[in-house]
Amino acid sequence: MAEGVLAGLRVADFSRVLAGPYATMMLADFGADVVKIESPAGDDTRSWRPPVDAFGESTYFASVNRGKRSVICDLSQPDGLATARRLAETADVVVENFRPGVMEGFGLDEEILRQRNPGLIYCSITGFGRAGGAELPGYDLLVQAVGGLMSITGSPEGEPTKAGVALVDVLTGQNALAGILLALRERDRTGLGTRVDVDLLSSLLSALTNQASSTLATGRSPSRLGNAHPSIAPYESFSAADRDLVVAVGTDRQFAAFAEVLGRPDLAGDERFRTNDRRVASREELRAELAPLLAARSAGEWVTALGRARVPAGIVNTIAEAFAFAEALGLDPAVVATDAATGRTSRQPATPIRLRDAPAEHRSPAPRHGEHQALWADEMAAQDSPALTETENPE
């Protein structure tokens, strides 16, 4: 396999839980040496179980920490703090998601580290930024609520609903990854590092895209529509004879073809449904016409028939079915990361970014707590750089 495009890049990863670890795992997948700096208690997600894998390890932790090395640094002790500082000062990238002010208190902030490492990329991930929201706890569920996502998720008759995964953390991790890569490109140009700031709330507001744009343009916030779309119809889920499916009719041509497959070509000529804007205005009447028709056959039959007519449709899969579907399409959605030394394996979702000439390499499962302590100590002992001065634990 080709050497990763980020080979030779060292990342000191002080982040925990999801957003930061997701970003640094992606860096590791493309060859970066990511050293995960953990407290004596370890990343919080090590204890988030069940479920566990075959080795009794948290599958949550495993999902965002493959390919990394784990080193324990007790920042409350001078030797642990000195080790952490040495890691940071010899890294190309530092990633942290502590509450604003914590890294400064330990002398691990950007300003201090840059004095010894002017090329350092320093990525800070917060919940609500470093100004007025600095003290607010950055939990994904909280951000989904205050950021408006829950207000547009769920059925109109039901309660506001969160997404089924910590989506804001994942989006923020992707933004952190993009910011780090942009900063590395800038360093190529100037020779100097820079600071990257991302926060959960800004990531969510940007990701609201069309819903945010309509709100800013009209001054009106959208409401919950369940699985329906605010600007397209029919673009939602229906119950077939055996299970649920979705149809995603995005054009008038597709709607005419859809009506033909349903055996109701007259619907395309109905003045209430002839164009998309009219279908949106008459979405309840349209659904009343479509629901009994779609309930008459199985979801699989409808997907096959609609596919022939080039009308987008699909079954509402379970996650296991979704992986099987992607596998059938040749997407190779899952990989097995193997520890060459121990033979320990972990089946993981594959990196979604594919580079033809330098593909991702899923080099090893998530590390055990402190697994690489001795290896790191040997590396530091072999270096010619002078020993660092120990720093007392700040109050």
Catalytic annotation, residues: 169
| Amino acid identity at 158 | G
Q: Compute the distance between CA of residue 314 and CA of residue 303 in angstroms, rounded to an integer.
A: 6
DSSP 300-340: HHHHHHHHHTT--EEE---HHHHHHHHHHTT---EEEEE-T
The tokens 């990361």 sit on which residue?
Answer: 337
State the sign of the Cα–Cα–Cα–Cα dihedral 58, 59, 61, 66: positive
DSSP state of 16: -
Q: Which two tokens stand for residue 262?
A: 């349903």
Q: Compute the distance between CA of residue 238 and CA of residue 295 in angstroms, rounded to an integer.
A: 8
Helix (H), strand (E), coil (C) string for 53-108: CCCCCEHHHHHCCCCEEEEECCCCCHHHHHHHHHHHHCCCEEEECCCCCHHHHCCC
Bridge partners for 313 per DSSP: 247
Angle made by CA atoms 180, 125, 144, in degrees to the nearest 5: 120
The tokens 């324990």 sit on which residue?
Answer: 72
| Amino acid identity at 4 | G
Angle made by CA atoms 26, 32, 36, in degrees to the nearest 5: 80
